[in-house]
Amino acid sequence: MLISQRNWLARMAASSVNLFQGMNDSSKKTSVLFVCIGNSCRSPMAESIALRDAADLFESSSAGLSPLGVVQKLTLETLQSNGYPTDGLYSKPILSAAWADADLVINMSGYPRERAFPRSEWDKVEDWLVEDPYGCDRAVYQRIFEDIRTRIASLTARLSESAADK
């Protein structure tokens, strides 16, 4: 079951209150874990975009609920054609250490956080409704890339504001 837009907006508002709870050391970068279903399209895109565009504010990584074991060729081509790094991107599961280290988990799986991460720290999870480009053409991958890049720019602005307020 995919999360509805209204539910997503309500969760965004609620999660933004606690988003940076636990970030006491202003010199520490926020650790962001991007998650999608297969860690093959959306979350590797987000990891790469964040590595280039927001490395000064947060450390990024990615994982999948049910990793496919390969980053899709069109994901890599889309990133490369837009000037983003692809070295080191690979499809992997959510490891306990990665979850524990994450200050913020961006859930792009299409499932609400309570379903995607049963019995977890939901206050550190933010749901993003991002279409899955798996199996689609280059134009769809490019559109999804632009959507994710815009969302990361917004996240970067929020992190910057939060850091300035401390």
Helix (H, G, I), strand (E, B) or coil at 114: helix
Helical (H) or strand (E) element with 58: strand 58-64
Helix (H, G, I), strand (E, B) or coil at 132: coil
Domain boundaries, the chain: 5-18+30-165
CB atoms within 10 A of CB 166: 9
Model confidence over 27-39: pLDDT tens digits? 689 999 999 999 9
For the domain made up of 5-18+30-165, give the CATH fold: Rossmann fold (3.40.50)
For the cut 60, the answer to whether the pLDDT of residue 107 exceeds it is yes
Q: What is the pLDDT of residue 21?
A: 41
Handedness of CA 88, 36, 93, 16 (dihedral sign): positive
Band the pLDDT of 161: cuts 50, 70, 90.
Answer: confident
Band the pLDDT of 26: cuts 50, 70, 90.
Answer: low
Residue 28 one-letter amino acid: K
